[in-house]
Amino acid sequence: MAESNTKSQMTAVRLDKWLWAARFCKTRALARELVQSGKVQYNNQRCKPSKVVELGAVIRVPQGYDVREVVVENLSDKRRSAALAQQLYTETAQSIARRQANAEARKAGALLNPKPDHKPDKKQRRDIIRLKHQ
């Protein structure tokens, strides 16, 4: 394991390949598109998919509704297990706090807009249509 870490630190790794290896994207093609579209920031700057990743760099990556801000700890160009992929980076404390605040806001919004337990049946749909057309 120690030999693979030293080998991976010595080789240059492209940003799209690192994002794929760190499991931020399912495929390298998706990682490449994500970087090309300008959604990924490397040290607060827009970059190309071929950008060489360095240790200690700060990368902002969108994931779902949130944006994760991570610091590069290790380099790898191979996709391994999720546990090993999490060792490639550490998420900043500000990013974690921002994601938790956003999650709470989404939960609060869901409580304000309750949804019915089930879809309306045929008679209820007809009644709704009748109400709308009056």
DSSP for 57-107 reads -EEEEEETTEEEEEEE----SS---HHHHGGGEEE-HHHHHHHHHHHHHHH
CB 61 within 8 Å of CB 40: yes
Task: Name the pTM for this structure.
Answer: 0.75
β-pair type (58-63, 45-46): unpaired
For the chain, how are helix, strand and coil distributed in percent, rounded to 5?
A: 50, 15, 35
Express each pLDDT in 6-51 by its tens digit. 444 458 999 999 999 999 999 999 999 999 999 999 999 999 999 9
Return the closest-CA partner of residue 59 out of 45, 78, 77, 49. Answer: 45
At 114 the pLDDT is 75
**Residue 5 banded pLDDT, cuts 50, 70, 90:** low
**CATH no. for 2-114:** 3.10.290.10
Q: Per-residue pLDDT tens for 59-111?
A: 999 998 999 999 999 999 999 999 999 999 999 999 999 999 999 998 888 77
With a cut of 80, say whether residue 2 has pLDDT above it.
Answer: no
Residue 29: its pLDDT value, please?
96
State the Cα torsion 35-79-75-88 to the nearest 10°.
Answer: 90
Give me the chain's average pLDDT, please: 90
Q: What pLDDT, on a 0 to 100 scale, did the predictor assign at position 10?
A: 56
Give residue 1's pLDDT.
46
Tell me the pLDDT tens digit for each residue of 69-78: 999 999 999 9
Q: What was the pLDDT predicted at 8?
A: 44
Give the separation between CA 37 and CA 62, rounded to whole angstroms.
12
| Close Cβ partners of 39 (under 8 Å, ≥ 6 residues apart) | 61, 62
